[in-house]
Amino acid sequence: MSKRNLAAAVFFSIVAVVFIFSALLMHPFGVLDESDMDDYVIENTQEETGANNGVTSVVFDYRGFDTLGEATVLFTAVAAVIMIFRRLKND
Amino acid sequence: MIYNIPYIAVVCLILIGLYALVFKRNLIKMVIGITLIESGVNLFLITLGYRKGSIAPIYTSSPGGIMALPIPQALTLTSIVIGVAVLALMLSLVIHIYRHYGTLDVRKVRRLKE
Amino acid sequence: MNVPEYTPALIVAVPLLGAFLTPLISRINDKLRNIFVILVLGLNSLLVGLLAFNIFTKSTPDSPFIYTYIFGAKDVTLPVVRILFEVDAMSIFMAIIASILVFVAVIYSWSFMKENTGLDKYYTLLLLLTAGMLGMMLTGDMFNFFVFLEITSIASCALIAFWTNKAESVEAAFKYIVISAIGALFVLFAIALLYGQYDALNIAVLSNAIQYTFLDKIALVLLIVALAMKAGIVPMHMWLPDSYGRAPSTVTLALVGATLASLYGVLRVIFTLYGNILLEPAKFDIPVNMFIGWLIIPLAVISIIVGVIMALRQTDFKRLIAFAAVAEIGYMFLAIGTGLAAMGTAYGRTALEGGIFHIINDALDVGLLFLVAGAIYYATKEWSLDEMGGLARNMKYTTIFFVIGILAVAGMPPFNGFASKLLIYESTFQLNPILAIVAILCSILLLAAFVKVFHSAFMGPKLPKFKDVKEVPKSMLFAMGILVCIIIFFGLFPNLVLENIVRPVADALLSNAQYLSMVLGGA
Amino acid sequence: MTEMSKIVRTITAIAFPFAMIYGLYVIAHGHLTPGGGFQGGAVVASACAMILVAFGSKWTIDKIKEKRLSVFESVGAIAFIGLAFFGLIFGAVFFNNFLVGNDYLFGIIPVVGSGLADINTAGVIPLMNFAVGLKVIVGLFAIVLVMAYATTNYKEGKK
């Protein structure tokens, strides 16, 4: 076993243990501890944003700035891909 | 702990991805590993938003009743798009690496050393 | 002097708008585009400066001033649904660093990048990188932090691969994107763990609610590991010399900012997100702060040692500086670790102040050295130290800037690195003398590594192949001059900076209770 | 990517408008039914990618240059951030939903509770959906197009 494999195995097992523990300790599926923030959205989405779709009201109104960031990520990726495949001078 | 099965599925997905990432030697397989981890995390986010017996948080012709949490769905949407962006960038880099090195083996892609 | 309340939003929105407009403007004229980008970044730096002035003058030691901006509504609702910008002294301090670095980089690019194709995308990505870094620093929402982290890493990865005809650049970029993707996914998983327990994403709300359950510990570890990995601490430092060494110098300068933004993330997570439970006893009656502090200190010391030793062995100019940067990041983490382990004592505070002061000093010094390396590359088209020699005669200003840079990095007296490193030595000595001795020794070795560079590149006889080498164009000298002026100013008046800037920042980090009440008080 | 057989091309040409209309419907009804700018944009972009696969990258890039796509993407992004800035101008806060509550353009507030709602609701959300939709269509298609064109060109032995 090479050194790289050993390091990888150690890393992998540590992360595996951490993740499995967190899965076992989560609250039961479908039974929530807290849901204040989401209940607020569900109750007020129609009055505050006029949107019938709760998810869209979150995406474009309550957390609109995240969506700007997300659109920017896509813009960045397009710019990056076009830049990477650009024509170089000596081609 | 039967109620935790969705979380266990999430962890399995993440671990498969991590396995592909750290043990596979092919760059494309490493990219697939990262994508798997990402889908695991997205699944986890969606899982957090479920309430027993709930419907989708949309009022248009809804039958009424408790609704699932909308915010995790919005977060997942954002995270998926980010994943697409990262995937596109990684694949274009892999194409370039293949052009330069003529191989996808991670052991041979090593011009940068010490 | 008051600024409009929407200034924090403008600080992020202006470079974004600039980035979206750049492709359109570059279809008209290339020179116009360059001027436009410089204007956008200048306006942005001005906004950052105004906001910083506002925050630093309004902060008092007892009640640090926090600027809150809500996106989409006038008032905070409880529970906090909308995204908040929470700008305290720490955030704006990092924003100052980032905007200085990018502004200098864009001035330097004018001549340095002139020969390349694809410059419209280059400037677009540079602006996006700026927006990403500033967003990471100003935001008060965990998920928003993740989004900006991704913008930063995608933009910087693309910029590392800018010279796509070189195999090494592409390889370095691939390494960087893999590390970034893993780090970002860990951060997202940690955010999801916190969200699942407390149904909140706002940092202040989460910090108020955190109970330090086992899941919180996992989230803490994931966040610190992922962000420290992106900041380049030792077990995961290999991407840093690769990408710093193979990117264009201007990009490296911006990357220094991106690395420091991740460092800011570490500080924000430890001191604010988990700030409420830092002093509580955890396992075996050891308080949480001791736990994290002593986790960080060994890694920091190893970072310093590895960075310095590897720097001594390098023959590639930029890789050498990059390893020096690893060592410098080690110093920052050492200071943070000491500050955590000795939290509540006077020297713990000194350590933290030293660490914060060192962040800006490191950014300026290392940035200056990278620019010098870029200038030498511009003049000679050469990275390898073995090939260089006798450049001092032809490039006088660059040589002077280089000397200032190495003295500042190594922490020699009249320059800025001395002030911050002295604070770090002083405080670590009180925690454990061995740490301080190691830190001082490594600093001397770092100077030795740079003296070697100075000797082989600048001294010695004039080489025939560098006969026609000329001094670099004025815009590049001007960009380096800006950094040198700030370095000399900080070196001559360290007390001024410590009193007026570093102290409020340390106050802002340590006073977690005020953070919560300032943010949520209005609701 | 090279051109595919005539059967594939004909079927693609028939299927393309349907996929396009469906994607546009998803974008336009984002505030009422599941979907939105990103999802609908992805549908339309995959329809475009289908064209690319069927007709080959050379044919497609002759029809539309990636530079023009990049301009369209900028326009979408500027429209989105511009709506956010309009929020600052008309509603005093960045990202304010300044159109909600007026009675003519997208401003009607639907009746609380379940029920079919009008498309003329939700303030700036439909406009943002369109901006993001344009951006996603053009962005995803540009990524696929550039990658396909670059790889085919390389295969033809241009190194």
Q: What is the pLDDT of residues C82-104, one digit of tens each?
A: 888 888 888 888 999 999 999 99
Residues from chain D that touch C70, judged by Cβ atoms under 8 A, are 93
Q: How far is the C-alpha of C95 from the C-alpha of C15, rounded, in Å?
A: 13
Amino acid at C455: H
Predicted pLDDT of residue C514: 67
Residue B80 to residues B38, B46, B65, C33, D30, Cα–Cα distance (Å):
8, 12, 28, 33, 17
Cα distances (angstroms) measured from residue C163 to each of B113, C153, C159, C302: 19, 17, 8, 32
Contact C164 B97 (CB under 8 A): no
Q: Would B114 be classed as within a structural domain? A: no
The contacts of residue B42 (CB under 8 Å, 6+ apart) are B76, B79, B80, B83
* pLDDT score, position D155: 55
Could you give the number of structural domains in chain B? 1
| Token pair in block for residue C218 | 């996992």
10 Å CB burial of residue C490 (0-12, 13-18, 19+) is buried
Distance CA C43, CA D45 (A): 36
Q: Are strands C67-70 and C84-87 parallel, antiparallel or unpaired?
A: antiparallel
Residue B72 lies in a domain: yes
The two most distant CA atoms of chain A are separated, in Å, by 63
Q: Which of D69, D78, D95 to probe by mutation at the C interface, max C CB count within 10 Å?
A: D95
Residue that wins the pLDDT comparison between D1 and C287: C287
What is the domain range of residue B55?
2-101
Q: Which chain B residue shows the shortest CA-CA distance from A85? A: B92
Q: Tokens standing for C185?
A: 């996914």
Give the pLDDT confidence score for residue D18 in this predicted structure: 92
Residue C297 CB partners (closer than 8 Å, separation 6+):
C333, C334, C337, C338, C341, C435
Q: Is B24 left (phi over 0), alpha (psi -120 to 50) or beta?
A: beta
pLDDT at residue C148, rounded to an integer: 92
Query: C435-452 pLDDT, tens per residue?
Result: 888 888 888 888 888 888
Tell me which chain A residues have a C-beta less than 8 angstroms from the C-beta of B14: 19
Name the average pLDDT for chain B: 85
Indicate the pTM of the whole model: 0.93
pLDDT of residue C220: 87
Q: What is the pLDDT of residue C388?
A: 77
Amino acid making up residue C441: L
Please give the pLDDT value at position D114: 58
**Which among A11, A19, A30 has the least Cβ separation from residue B22?**
A11
Residue B53: which region, alpha, beta or left (left: phi > 0; alpha: psi -120 to 50)?
left
Q: Supply the pLDDT for residue B54.
A: 81
Show which of residues 45-104 on chain C sit within 8 Å of chain D, judged by CB atoms: 69-74
Q: Token match 């200034």: residue?
A: C7
CB of C124 within 8 Å of any CB in chain A? yes
Contacts of B among chains (3+ CB pairs under 8 A) = A, C, D
| Chosen from B78, B91, B97, B110 to mutate, greatest number of chain A CBs within 10 A | B78
Q: Is-contact C207 C273, C-beta < 8 A?
A: yes
User: Measured between alpha carbons, how far is residue C136 from residues C130, C214, C227, D56 in Å?
Assistant: 10, 27, 12, 41
- For residue C400, what are its two tokens? 């002077």
Contact A57 D150 (CB under 8 A): no
Q: What is the CA radius of gyration of chain B?
A: 19
C473: helix, strand or coil: coil
- Chain B contacts in chain C segment 467-506 (CB below 8 A): none
CA distances from A26 to A13, B36, C268 (A): 20, 21, 25
Cβ–Cβ of A50/D107 closer than 8 Å? yes
| CATH number of the domain bearing residue B45 | 1.10.287.3510
pLDDT at D108 over 90: no
- Please name the helix (run of DSSP H) or strand (run of DSSP E) that holds residue C70, with its range, or none: strand C67-70
Q: Is some CB atom of chain C closer than 8 A to the CB atom of B113?
A: no
Please write the tens of the pLDDT for every residue from C157-177.
999 988 888 888 888 899 899
Q: Is B45 on the interface with C (CB under 8 A)?
A: yes
Measured distance CA(C463)–CA(C73) in Å, rounded:
66
Q: Quick check: is B93 in a domain?
A: yes
Nearest CA in chain A to D116: A52
Tokens describing residue C27: 């279809």
> How many CB contacts within 8 angstroms connect chain B with chain D?
38
Q: Cis omega before residue B57 (within 30°)?
A: no
User: Counting Cβ atoms within 10 Å, is residue A45 exposed (0-12), middle (13-18) or buried (19+)?
Assistant: buried
pLDDT of D157 reads: 47
For C428, other C-beta atoms within 10 Å of its C-beta total: 32
Q: Lowest mean pLDDT: which of B61-70, C215-224, C313-322? A: B61-70
Chains contacting D (3+ CB pairs below 8 angstroms): A, B, C
Chain center to CA of C58:
25
Taking all residues of chain C, what is their mean pLDDT, rounded to a whole number?
85
pLDDT of D159 over the 60 cut: no
For chain D, the domains span 6-155
Residues 6+ apart with CB under 8 A from C259: C230, C231, C232, C240, C325, C329
Cβ within 8 Å, pair C174-B27: yes
**Does residue C36 register a pLDDT over 80?**
yes
Residue C293: HSE in the Cβ half-sphere, 13 Å Cα cutoff: 24
Q: Does a structural domain hold residue B112?
A: no
Amino acid at C31: K
The nearest CA of chain B is from the CA of A66 a distance in Å of: 8
Tell me, letter by letter, the H, E, C secondary structure of C149-213.
Answer: HHHHHHHHHHHHCCCCCCHHHHHHHHHHHHHHHHHHHHHHHHHHHHHHHHCCCEHHHHHHHCCCC
Q: Collapsing DSSP states into helix, strand and coil, what is residue C432?
A: coil
Min distance A2 CA to chain B CA atoms (Å): 11
Mean pLDDT score, B7-21: 89
Residue B35 has pLDDT above 90, yes or no: yes
- Interface probe for D, chosen from C12, C17, C20 (most Cβ of D below 10 Å), is C20
The DSSP string of C328-394 is HHHHHHHHHHHHHHTTTSHHHHHHHHHHHHHHHHHHHHHHHHHHHHHHHHHHH---BGGG---TTTT
User: Looking at residue B37, what is its pLDDT?
Assistant: 92
Domain positions in chain A: 3-84
Residue D158, pLDDT > 50, answer no
Any chain B CB within 8 A of the CB of D157?
A: no
Tokens of B34: 């990262």
Rg (CA), chain C: 22
d(CA C190, CA C220): 7
- Place D116 in a pLDDT band, splitting at 50, 70 and 90: low
Does the pLDDT value for residue C523 go beyond 50? no
How many C-D residue pairs are in contact by the CB < 8 A criterion? 41
H or E element at residue C69: strand C67-70
Residues C480-502 have a mean pLDDT of: 86
Both ends of chain C: CA-CA distance in Å? Answer: 26
Instruction: Give the span between the Cα atoms of C60 and C352, in whole angstroms.
Output: 18
Which residue from B23, A83, A87, A89 is spatially nearest to C173, judged by alpha carbons? Answer: A83
Q: For chain D, what is the largest distance between any 2 Cα atoms, rounded to a whole number of angstroms?
A: 64
Closest CA relative to residue A24, chosen from D54, B42, B7: B7
